[in-house]
Amino acid sequence: MSYALDQFCEDCRTTIVADDGDGSREVIRQNLEKLLANEEFVASNCGPDAERGIHTLYEDPKLGFVVLAHIYDKGVESPPHDHGPSWAVYGQSVEHTDMTIWTETGKAGDDPIVEPAESYRLDPSMAGTFNPRQIHSIKFPAGARFVRVTGTDLNTVAQRRFDLTNNKIDHSKAVPRPA
């Protein structure tokens, strides 16, 4: 029997209750890679017939973590941003996503200046983790699909989005979702 979404969510619950820190995020990352190796899961949630957009696959009523499927027709490059106090684990299901981690290198008035510090690519069945307040950006081609697990509903927390041209920060509740 293949590793399925319900088992993944149960494993997330068990892991977060035992350790809601770096160790749990690494276990979730590894388990997400295991889930993405399940071809039936990928086909039904991220396959060519999947509805476009962002879809909640699961939201834990007690712990608050959320499992989302991201299905895109167009390629997107996000601005550098963080997820506020939440962590995020991204797992690639179709195509690839280029991930960039940014670091604060100075100040422009009250706002930090950020520069790229590290980049890597997620290919299908690979997952990567961003810790709370870790600044990152993503870039993916048309047809990319991924699963993202967050520690909370990101629409409920303040996040920073960095405007590199003007060295300003937007402190919105959510990073705009690509169309």
CATH of the domain at 126: 2.60.120.10
Number of domains in the chain: 1
Does residue 179 fall inside a structural domain?
no
Per-residue pLDDT at 173: 59
DSSP letters for 87-102: -EEEEEEES-EEEEEE
Does residue 45 fall inside a structural domain?
yes
Residue 53 lies in domain: 5-170
Which secondary structure element, helix H or strand E, spans residue 114, and what is its range? Answer: strand 111-122
DSSP one-letter code for 81: B
Does residue 161 fall inside a structural domain?
yes
Does residue 99 fall inside a structural domain?
yes
Q: Please write the tens of the pLDDT for every residue from 29-84.
A: 999 999 999 999 999 999 999 999 999 999 999 999 999 999 999 999 999 999 99
Does residue 129 fall inside a structural domain?
yes
Which residue pairs from 162-171 have beta carbons closer than 8 angstroms and sit at least 24 positions apart in sequence?
162/79, 162/80, 162/81, 162/102, 162/114, 162/135, 163/79, 164/79, 164/80, 164/114, 167/108, 167/109, 167/111, 167/113, 168/108, 168/111, 169/111, 169/112
Does residue 176 fall inside a structural domain?
no
Does residue 10 fall inside a structural domain?
yes
